[in-house]
């Protein structure tokens, strides 16, 4: 994969909606079932709203019943960082983007066993969706092959 210069910039931060800012910069959580991507079934790539770094692919998305977009694994594991989170009095694992340090959501170990047992429960407000047909135009052409492989071959 081609290495891009993914980073956080003051210009991008200034263009975030209030909800995107609260989620990505203040580690807030958006409402379940009332967010842009929880029920999106289109093929494509989910990238960090701040840096553009690729995070998750629709081929790894599933309906967890929680009301947030949920994935079994990141498309580029080096683009996500997992850190302990004790903010609610219990230890959870927060997921942040590696290059922009955006709060994305949390990962839990109660996902489907057949896909690795993980549930990456993300906030739509932290993500931008790039449709499969727009990957080349948007600079993510190297990820197109992910959508052309048979299931289980990633």
CATH of the domain at 126: 2.170.150.20
Q: Which residue has the higher pLDDT, 118 or 1?
A: 118
Residue 53 resides in a domain: yes
C-alpha gyration radius of the chain = 15
Which residues, 6 or more positions from 43, have their beta carbon under 8 angstroms from its beta carbon? Answer: 58, 59, 131, 132, 147
What are 38's strand-pairing partners? none
Residue 152 resides in a domain: no
Structure tokens at 73: 């694994």
Q: What gap in Å lies between CA 64 and CA 115, rounded to an integer?
A: 13
Please give the model's pTM, rounded to 2 decimal places.
Answer: 0.92
How many C-beta atoms lie closer than 10 Å to residue 136's C-beta? 12
Given 55, 59, 121, 146, the catalytic residue: 121
Q: What are the backbone angles phi and psi of residue 52, rounded to the nearest 5°?
A: 85, 0
Model confidence at 151: pLDDT above 70: no
Q: What are the backbone angles phi and psi of residue 48, rounded to the nearest 5°?
A: -65, 130
Structure tokens at 45: 């790539």
Query: pLDDT tier at 137 (50, 70, 90 boundaries)?
Result: very high
Share of the chain above pLDDT 70, in %: 94
Residue 1 resides in a domain: no
- Tell which residue, 55, 73, 58, has the closest CA to residue 115: 73
Domain encompassing residue 112: 10-147
Model confidence at 153: pLDDT above 60: no
Residue 153 resides in a domain: no
Residue 25 resides in a domain: yes
User: Which 8-state DSSP code applies to residue 111?
Assistant: S
Model confidence at 139: pLDDT above 80: yes
pLDDT value of position 154? 54
121 counts as catalytic: yes
**How far is residue 130 from each of residues 37, 42, 99, measured CA to CA in Å?**
12, 10, 19
Residue 63 resides in a domain: yes
Contact assessment for residue 15 and residue 9, using Cβ atoms and an 8 Å cutoff: no
Q: What is the mean pLDDT of the chain?
A: 92
Residue 59 resides in a domain: yes
pLDDT tens profile 31-69: 999 999 999 999 999 999 999 999 999 999 999 999 999
How many structural domains are present in the chain? 1
Residue 51 resides in a domain: yes
pLDDT value of position 2? 41
Mean pLDDT, residues 106-111 taken together: 95
């Amino acid at each position: 994969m081609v290495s891009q210069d993914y980073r956080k910039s003051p210009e991008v931060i200034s263009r975030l909606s209030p909800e995107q800012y609260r989620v990505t910069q203040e580690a807030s959580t958006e409402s379940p079932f009332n967010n842009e991507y929880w029920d999106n079934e289109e093929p494509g790539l989910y990238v960090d709203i701040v840096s553009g770094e690729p995070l998750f692919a629709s081929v790894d998305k599933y309906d967890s019943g929680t009301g947030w977009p949920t994935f079994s694994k990141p498309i580029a594991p080096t683009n996500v960082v997992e850190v302990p989170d004790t903010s609610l009095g219990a230890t959870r694992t927060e997921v942040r983007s590696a290059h922009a340090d955006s709060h994305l959501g949390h990962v839990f170990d109660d996902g489907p066993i057949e896909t690795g047992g993980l549930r990456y429960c993300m906030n739509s407000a932290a993500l931008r969706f790039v449709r499969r047909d727009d990957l080349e135009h948007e600079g993510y052409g190297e990820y197109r092959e992910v959508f052309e492989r048979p299931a289980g071959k990633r």
